[in-house]
Amino acid sequence: MFIDYITLMLINMVAGLFLLAYYVYQGLDSPNQKRWIPGFGMTGGIALATGLHMIWTWPIVGSFNIAFGETTVLFGIILLTAAIALSQGWDLLTVAIYAFFVGIAAVVIGFRIMNLGLTKQPLLSGIGFILTGLGGIFAAPTLYLKTNRAWRLLGAAVLVAAALIWALTGYLAYWGHLETFQKWVPIPMR
C-alpha cells in the first residue's frame, strides 16, 4: 500500500481556484487587496508543502507524481507569491507571467493524461488540467483588461469550471480512499 494524499492536494486546489475566481471577478480592482492574502497564503502553503513532498519522495505509483506533484508545487508558489505581492503592494504582472508558463505545462499535461488514459477518468482529469492551465495562460491579459467586466467574468467562469471538476474528482477520491485505506497499518505497527 502506498501513501496517497492527492485528495488533500485536490481539495486545496479547489479552494485556491474558487478564491482566484472570486478575486478575478470582484477583487482584482478592489481597493482592499490585503483581504486576499490569507486565502492565497493558506492554499499556496499547503500546495507547496504537499507538492514538494510528492516530487521529492514519489509516494504514488507511476507518473502521477509528475502530473500532480510538480503542478501542485507551481500552483502553490504562484499563490504564495501572489499573497506576498499583495501584502507588499507589489504589481502582480511578474506572477502572471510566471503563471503563463505554468499554464502551458498544465495544458500539455491535460492533453497527455487524455492521450495516455491516465487516472480513473482521463477525459475529466485532462479537461481539469486544461481549464486550470488556461487560467494561468490568461492571467497577464486579465491584469491588463481588469476594467473589462465581460473578460473577467469569462476568466472567473473558467476557473470555477476547473474548480468544479477538481471538486468532483477530489470528493469522489475521498469517498473511495476511506474504503481503500480503512485497514492500512503503519509499518511500525505491522
Report the pLDDT value the prediction gives residue 170, as an integer from 0 to 100.
96
Integer distance in angstroms from the first to the last C-alpha of the chain? 13
| Residue 27 pLDDT > 90 | yes
Q: What is the CATH number of the domain that holds 155?
A: 1.25.40.600
Backbone angles phi, psi at 181, to 5 degrees: -100, 10
Residue 29 has pLDDT above 60, yes or no: yes
Mention every residue, 6+ apart, whose C-beta is less than 8 A from residue 161.
131
Q: At residue 1, does pLDDT exceed 60? A: no
Angle between helices 93-116 and 71-88 (to 10 degrees): 160
The reply to whether 35 falls in a domain is yes
Give residue 2's pLDDT.
65
Query: What is the average per-residue pLDDT within 57-77?
Result: 94
Q: For residue 86, what pLDDT is reported?
A: 97
The reply to whether 137 falls in a domain is: yes
Please, which pLDDT band fits residue 61 given cuts at 50, 70 and 90? confident
Over 70: is that where the pLDDT of 121 sits? Answer: yes
Higher model confidence: residue 3 or residue 68?
68
Q: For residue range 136-154, what is the model confidence (pLDDT) as tens digits?
A: 999 999 999 999 999 999 9
- Give the range of the structural domain holding residue 33, as residue numbers without chain letter: 6-172
% pLDDT > 90, the chain? 88
Helices 6-22, 122-137: inter-axial angle, 10-degree rounding: 40
Average pLDDT, the chain: 95
The CA–CA distances, whole Å, from 65 to 17, 25, 51, 69 equal: 21, 32, 9, 5
Residue 102 forms part of a structural domain: yes
Q: How many structural domains does the chain have? A: 1
Answer whether residue 162 is part of any domain: yes
Does residue 133 form part of some domain?
A: yes
Q: Is residue 190 a part of any domain in this protein?
A: no
Q: In this structure, is residue 107 part of a structural domain?
A: yes
pLDDT tens sequence across 82-92: 999 999 999 99
**Which residue, 83, 85, 87, is CA-closest to 41?**
83
Please give the pLDDT value at position 106. Answer: 98
Interval 1-7 mean pLDDT: 79
Reported as a single tens digit per residue, the pLDDT across 30-41 is 999 999 999 999
Confidence of residue 186 (pLDDT cuts 50, 70, 90): confident
Asked if residue 181 is part of any domain, the answer here is no
